[in-house]
Amino acid sequence: MKHLISKVAILAIILLLPSLGMGFPNLPLVDPPLKNKIGWNLKGNGLLYVSFDLDRNGRADYHTVHFVIKTYLTGEPLKQLPGFYKGAPVFYVNYGPANQIYVISKKALFYAFDVNEDGTWDLMYKDVNEDGVNGNETFYESPSNMFSVPSQYAENLN
């Protein structure tokens, strides 16, 4: 228990220090390989949410949101599919003799942190260029309201 409290305290300090200087969250983002995902969820809005466990404790703490470019049902062998889409990630659901295929954007549109790993995202960053984590991402919102943006910064975020 003592070790857990220490970890949480250190994480809180690391997360809050950048935001104190800027007035709003300015965390370094990561772009983990999709092979390190711990889960994914297709939403009805045409987006695929991919979850990661950066601190390796078994709970999702980081998420990326990708556009679904193409979806279809096929009986073709899965090992052939990635070559058809020039590096675009391919997810699938096996339905016995056929697979439901989801081809997604190479880079994410949104990056989100769940700081306290409670299932509600605490910070979201938007990457309108979908060019990966390179510093041009902008703070989007704090769905949990853990972080708020002062009004003098809010007009510069969009």
pLDDT at 24 over 70: no
List the structure tokens of 56. Answer: 């390796």
pLDDT digit string, tens, across residues 82-120: 677 878 898 989 988 899 999 999 999 999 999 999 999
Instruction: Identify the band that residue 150 occupies on the pLDDT scale cut at 50, 70 and 90.
Output: low
Asked if pLDDT for residue 11 goes beyond 80, the answer is no
Query: What percent of the chain is modeled with pLDDT above 70?
Result: 74
| 43-56 pLDDT per residue, tens | 989 999 999 999 99
Of the listed ranges 3-7, 17-21, 118-122, 145-149, the least confidently predicted one is: 17-21
What is the Cα–Cα distance from 23 to 19, expressed in whole angstroms? 6
* Long-range contacts, stretch 133-136, CB < 8 angstroms, 24+ apart: 133/29, 133/30, 133/31
Q: How far is 98 from 26, CA to CA, in rounded Å?
A: 44
Which residues does residue 40 pair with via DSSP β-bridges, in sequence order?
Answer: 50
**139 close to 157: Cβ distance less than 8 angstroms:** yes
Contacts of 82 by beta carbon, 8 Å cutoff, 6+ apart: 90
Range 52-67 average pLDDT: 94
| Integer angstrom CA distances of residue 101 from 108, 118, 143 | 18, 30, 30
pTM score, whole prediction: 0.74
- pLDDT for the residue numbered 96: 87
Q: Looking at residue 13, what DSSP letter applies?
A: H
Three-state SS sequence of 69-128: EEEEEECCCHHHHHHHCCCCCEEEEEECCEEEEEEECCCCCEEEECCCCCCCCCEEEECC
